[in-house]
């Protein structure tokens, strides 16, 4: 491999792009696939000397880790959503109910548009501007559309987002309100993604965050891993359970943990990474169970729409990470997803979206089948807000009683209810 240097990089300490398949290197620029083998490209760094103090004295957002992200040095000076540094919540009630010893919920509902996608979009936007793009665009399963439309509004640039027409009403409204262009496409997410990829080839100054600037976008997920470690007091958890859509987030949390160890910011203690899918869209879980290296695409059919990618780009890399670290990939039914959403709300006062239900549901399943250690310190990710997927729980969550406005009527029902 050629030596790389970030001295002249317009994106901070990002030094080059490297092919994840053949290792070929390219200068930092608007490319995302390898010319030699069409493999996906990944950002490599000229890692700085960095200490905990420098990070801790930074802003309370993902930008405290900007030295480890592919963003220009002046990123703090441009208007952006300042996502990240969401709460890591010690979940003792939930742990007790599950028979676990030490459990934490990393709650990304605290981001500006209420999902983890604000992280990846902020990094993609910063890189895209530096690379000369003028429009922010994406194909989306919902949350990404929210994040792109809001971030573009804040930055004062145009956005164009493509969504499947059957998306949750809440996610359409919470995207369209920001005033960008929203195109609903009759088809699955995979159809939308294919269309966006074709358009990306024609519109030269459009940055499709998860397509043609994907290497930069993906790095934003590392901030979840950095925050978990910092918020644990600069330690790595022993187990972490992560939802899978394209699989990018999972692979980047692993990259973050590895980097922190190499940089000496944490002790490089072993950890196991577990991936979570809904049964109605579980191509990676199926490959894991079958012991395969390739992921066979499926047609999604699940209430967990934010995770409904039938042909996940990072699927094979997820299999690598979960196998290498001694973790697993599992899937749960839609019924188990709803159960887990209610469990999280009832025990910890956190209303997660269907993706959170998938992740907690899988944690529960892994405990039951002995693949997850109840005594090991565990972090489970809640990556989105239940208010955006109300339809999933609305049929099973109703008032306890409806009464006329009289104390007598209240006395009558309260006896039956308590």
Task: List residues binding ligand PLP (CB under 6 A).
Answer: 115-117, 143, 221, 243-249, 306, 353, 355, 383-384
* Partner from ligand PLP, Zn ion, none contacting 22, C-beta within 5 to 8 A by type: Zn ion
Give which of ligand PLP, Zn ion, none residue 244 binds (C-beta under 5 to 8 Å, depending on kind).
Answer: ligand PLP
Smallest distance, ligand PLP to C-beta of residue 249, A? 3
Q: Decide which of Zn ion, ligand PLP, none touches 113; Cβ closer than 5 to 8 Å per partner kind.
A: none
* Least CB distance to Zn ion at residue 39 (A): 4
Q: How far is the CB of 118 from ligand PLP (least distance, A)?
A: 10
Candidates 6, 34, 98, 167; binder of Zn ion (CB under 5 A) is: 34
Q: What angle do CA 317, 321, 322 make, to 5 degrees?
A: 115
Contact of 101 with 92, CB cutoff 8 Å: no
> Counting beta carbons within 10 angstroms of the beta carbon of residue 374, is it exposed (0 to 12), middle (13 to 18) or buried (19 or more)?
middle
**Which one among 19, 149, 240, 341 touches Zn ion, defined by CB under 5 A?**
19
Q: Using the rule CB under 5 A, is 73 a contact of Zn ion? A: no
Neighbours of 380 (CB within 10 A): 30
Does 31 contact Zn ion by CB under 5 A? no
Residue 115 binds which of ligand PLP, Zn ion, none (CB < 5-8 A, kind-dependent): ligand PLP
Q: Which does 19 bind (CB under 5 to 8 A by kind): Zn ion, ligand PLP, none?
A: Zn ion
| Residue 16 vs 88, nearer CB to Zn ion | 16
Is residue 44 close enough to count as binding Zn ion by CB under 5 A?
Answer: no
Based on CB atoms, which residue is closest to ligand PLP, 6 or 127?
127
The DSSP-derived string for 272-336 is EEEEEEETTB-HHHHHHHHT-SS-------SS-GGG--SS-TTHHHHHHHHHHTT-EEEEE-HHH
CA dihedral 315, 272, 277, 190 (to 10 degrees): -20
Q: To 10 degrees, the CA torsion angle through 265, 271, 272, 277?
A: -30
Residue 35 in contact with Zn ion, rule: CB under 5 A: no
18 touching Zn ion, by CB under 5 A: no
Closest to 276 measured CA to CA, from 360, 156, 186, 184 = 360
Torsion of CA 169, 174, 110, 338, to 10 degrees: 0
**What φ, ψ does residue 72 adopt, rounded to 5°?**
-65, 160
The reply on whether position 22 binds Zn ion by CB under 5 A is: yes
Of Zn ion, ligand PLP, none, which one does residue 245 interact with (CB within 5 to 8 Å by kind)?
A: ligand PLP
Contacted entry of ligand PLP, Zn ion, none for residue 275, CB cut-off 5 to 8 Å set by kind: none
DSSP 3-state of 237 = coil
- Minimal distance, residue 147 CB to ligand PLP, in Å: 9
Query: Closest approach of Cβ 77 to ligand PLP, in Å?
Result: 28
- Determine phi and psi for 78, rounding to 5 degrees: -100, 145
Tokens found for residue 230: 């910092």
- Residue 50 near which of Zn ion, ligand PLP, none (CB within 5-8 Å, type-dependent): none
Stretch that binds Zn ion, among 16-24, 72-80, 81-89, 216-224 (CB under 5 A): 16-24
Which residue has 């990072």 as its token pair?
Answer: 314
Give the HSE-up count for residue 363: Cα atoms under 13 Å, Cβ half-sphere. 33
Give yes or no for residue 39 binding Zn ion (CB under 5 A).
yes
Q: How far is the CB of 55 from Zn ion (least distance, A)?
A: 33
Non-local CB neighbours of 282 within 8 Å, separated by 6+ positions = 298, 331
Residue 159 touches which of Zn ion, ligand PLP, none (CB < 5 to 8 A by kind)? none
Contact of residue 61 among Zn ion, ligand PLP, none (CB under 5-8 Å per partner type): none
Under the binding rule (CB under 5 A), the answer on residue 26 touching Zn ion is no
Nearer to ligand PLP, 13 or 354 (CB): 354
Of 73, 14, 61, 66, nearest to 41 by C-alpha is: 14
The dihedral built from the CA positions of residue 66, 69, 74 and 79, taken in this order, carries a sign that is: negative
For position 240 contacting Zn ion by CB under 5 A, the verdict is no
CB of 18 to Zn ion, least distance (A): 9
Q: Return d(Cα 96, Cα 46) in angstroms, integer.
A: 44
Q: How far is the CB of 306 from ligand PLP (least distance, A)?
A: 4
Residues forming contacts to Zn ion in the complex (CB under 5 A) are: 19, 21-22, 24, 34, 36-37, 39
């Amino acid at each position: 491999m050629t030596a790389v240097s970030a001295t002249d990089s317009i994106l901070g300490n990002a030094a080059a792009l490297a092919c994840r398949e053949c290792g070929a290197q390219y200068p930092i620029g608007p490319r995302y696939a390898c010319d030699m083998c069409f493999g996906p490209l990944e950002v490599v760094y000229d890692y700085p000397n960095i200490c905990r103090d420098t990070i801790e004295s930074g802003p309370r957002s993902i930008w405290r880790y900007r030295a480890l992200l592919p963003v220009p040095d002046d990123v703090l000076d441009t208007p952006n959503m300042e996502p990240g540094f969401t709460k890591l919540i010690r979940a003792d009630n939930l742990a007790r109910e599950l028979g676990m010893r030490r459990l934490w919920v990393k709650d990304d509902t605290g981001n500006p548009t209420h999902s983890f996608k604000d992280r990846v979009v902020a990094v993609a936007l910063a890189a895209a501007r530096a690379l000369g793009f003028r429009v922010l665009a994406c194909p989306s399963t919902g949350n990404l559309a929210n994040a792109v439309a809001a971030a573009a509004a804040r930055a004062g640039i145009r956005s164009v987002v493509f969504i499947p027409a059957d998306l949750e009403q809440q996610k359409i409204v919470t995207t369209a309100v920001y005033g960008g262009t929203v195109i609903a496409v009759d088809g699955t997410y995979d159809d939308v993604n294919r269309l966006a990829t074709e358009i990306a080839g024609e519109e030269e100054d459009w940055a499709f965050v998860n397509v043609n600037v994907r290497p930069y976008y993906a790095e934003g997920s590392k901030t979840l891993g950095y925050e978990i470690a910092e918020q644990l007091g600069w330690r790595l958890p022993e187990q972490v359970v992560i939802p899978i859509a394209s699989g990018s987030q999972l692979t980047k949390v692993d990259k973050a943990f590895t980097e922190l160890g190499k940089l000496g910011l944490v002790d490089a203690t072993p950890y196991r990474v577990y991936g979570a899918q809904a049964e109605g869209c579980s191509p990676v879980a199926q490959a894991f169970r079958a012991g395969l290296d390739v992921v066979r695409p499926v047609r999604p059919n699940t209430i967990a729409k934010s995770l409904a990618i039938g042909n996940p780009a990072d699927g094979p890399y997820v299999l690598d990470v979960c196998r290498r670290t001694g973790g697993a990939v599992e899937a749960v039914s839609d019924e188990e997803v709803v159960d887990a959403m209610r469990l999280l709300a009832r025990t910890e006062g956190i209303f997660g979206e269907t993706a959170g239900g998938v992740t907690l549901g899988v944690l529960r399943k892994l405990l039951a089948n002995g693949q997850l250690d109840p005594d090991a310190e565990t972090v489970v990710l809640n990556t989105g807000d239940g208010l955006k997927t109300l339809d999933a729980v609305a049929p099973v969550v109703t008032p306890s009683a409806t009464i006329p406005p009289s104390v007598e009527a209240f006395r009558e029902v309260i006896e039956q209810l308590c």
